Chain A
Amino acid sequence: MAESTRITLEQVRHVARLARLELSSIEEERLRADMDEMLAYVAKLNELDTADVPPTAQVGEAGTPMRDDEVTSAPAAEQMLANAPSRERDYFKVPKIIE
């Protein structure tokens, strides 16, 4: 694979910010190289003219299945909170958001 530098460290940091991923400087460099290699590879898709091709987002059966409008019970609050890393009474506890 040709050595290319289409992805910059700045771009890696921007994408990491979007993805909410803190990266070490070693990870940043490693991911820059990996993404570069992957994007060089996927560039082969440009050999194909897809101007008139519709995208396929789903391959399942068409149509929205409908179900009867019946009341069902969701898991109880206690069950939903059982895995909470931090809780207070019936709430998930989070760091302060508003000063």
Chain B
Amino acid sequence: MHSELNKLTIADAAAMLRKGEVTSLELTRACLDRIKAIEPRLNAFITVCENEAIEQAHAADQRLKSGDAPALCGIPLGIKDIYATKGVLTTCASRILGNFVPPFDATVIAKLRAEGAVFVGKTNMDEFAMGSSTENSAFGPTLNPHDLERVAGGSSGGSAAAVAAHECLGSLGTDTGGSIREPASFCGVVGIKPTYSRVSRYGVIAYASSLDQVGPFAKSVRDAAIILRTLAGKDPNDSTCSARAVPDYEQALTGDVKGLRIGVPKEYFVEGMQPEVEKSVRAAIKNFESLGATTVEVSLPHSSYAIAAYYLVATAEASANLARYDGIRYGLRVKAEDHIDLYNQTRAEGFGAEVKRRIMLGTFALSAGYYDAYYLKGQKVRTLIRRDFDRAFEKCDLIVTPVAPTTAFKLGEKMNDPLTMYLPDIFTISVNLAGLPGMSMPCGYDENNLPIGVQLIGPPFSEEAILRAGDALERMGTFAPRGIAV
């Protein structure tokens, strides 16, 4: 009767759970069966939590029977392996944390647990969230469910692929320079990076602290709104976390975008972009117009400096954050004669090539004699980028852009050239530097049947407007999801 429960949206599954048409155990088993069937090919998970998930599903079913169950009660989710999960292996896709079992939950994990969500497993990612393809994982790459020769995007590629391939109903990722939006675009799902500080980062393994933000992947904009509502809000354990009240994001989905002013930045439609990407994004903008929105050209003149500023700021912060992996208190330890040697060798063996590359660049940018010319310069250009957005948002309510210049590329295609590998994030990075919210949602396919994403960017704390606009576009139904390859 319900042969493909794992394909349900969260909104539909939650309604069926409440009517007693399905149990959380059935939903969870459907996801676990799917994981068993396709994981050998997809590799979206580092750890599958079968026993824990079954136990959580039983508990959720009890709670649902009592009639007092929050929205995510009984819903199977995938969790990026960057979140500390009490009692469950948490590796950050690195050898250096290959055996780490946290004694505590990240705040967002505790919130989801309190709602009765079911965790089917920890998803694959680029090591320490550094990458745009999930090829930098110590546990092998995640493949794209639409084409197994292609990457899922990164760094939250496992979380995006797991939702696209119906291994779970939704998932969590993190976004430092596009790590939610780019894999969402490559895998054809919805992904939202909220305003910096909207969601607690406590218990999220840090890459670049002033840029990292937590967010959901989902099969629909409504589902993303449901998860975000649970994640957002004040946390005494994270002093950067906003104390603002959390709106009911699902209530914001009215379908009405009349009078919405949409900004289209001229700098984001560049030469060299895949023509089908531009075509699909422009079609999405036309669709907004047909719904009663107006468009206005805006300018973000410092866009072309964003990648350079990002790689100075992010690597500098990473070099400081990753100093804690020293082999003393947790993780890998390589036997050595003295303690300096112990640090050197543990870190040499524990970190992968991309992580070393970024630690080195960041350490250099912060080192004596180079701090002003590199790190400080990056932070100043960051100010110019934020000012560009401030000016643009005087003329419009939301900015609409492509997510990435191309659709998913082939495995290995960019692995040996760091600069080429950094370019997929060209349209997402500025949003992190400015601390703004941004969402990626599907808007078309290229001729190889690979998904194309459109990005909606808003001023700080405009998640309601972004979700409302995205939901309205989705309701038009002009973008029909297609089958996947796995």
Q: Which residues of A are in contact with B by a Cβ distance under 8 Å?
A: 1, 11-12, 14-16, 18-23, 27, 30-31, 34-35, 37-39, 41-42, 44-48, 50, 53-61, 64-65, 67, 75, 79-80, 82-86, 92, 94-97
Contacts and interface: CB of A to CB of B under 8 A. Distances in A.
A71 to B, nearest CB: 14
Contacts of B308: 41-42, 44-45
Chain A CB within 10 Å — which of B240, B331, B381 has the most? B381
Interface residues of B, number: 72
Give the secondary structure class of B's interface.
Answer: helix
Contacts of B419: 1, 37-38, 41
B449 interface: no
Contacts of A94: 328, 339, 342
Chain A CB within 10 Å — which of B241, B377, B378 has the most? B377
A57 B344 contact: no
A20 B342 CA distance: 9
B239 A96 contact: no
Contacts of B254: none
B38 interface: no
Contacts of A86: 333
Contacts of B327: 85
Contacts of A45: 305, 308-309, 312, 377-378, 381
Contacts, number: 168
B356 A20 contact: no
Given A38-B418, A79-B104, 7 more contacts: A15-B360, A20-B340, A22-B345, A35-B360, A45-B378, A56-B386, A65-B234
A19 B322 CA distance: 9
Give the secondary structure class of A's interface.
Answer: loop
A15 B367 contact: yes
A56 B104 contact: no
Contacts of B328: 85, 92, 94
A2 B326 CA distance: 37
A19 B356 CA distance: 9
B330 A83 contact: yes
Contacts of B323: 20
Contact of A85 (B305, B330, B379, B435): B330
A34 B418 contact: yes
Chain B CB within 10 Å — which of A11, A16, A21, A57 has the most? A21
B360 A95 contact: no
Task: List the 6 shortest-distance A-B pairs measured between CB atoms, nearest first.
Answer: A59-B435, A55-B379, A85-B333, A83-B330, A79-B103, A60-B197
Given A59-B196, A84-B330, A31 B345 contact: no
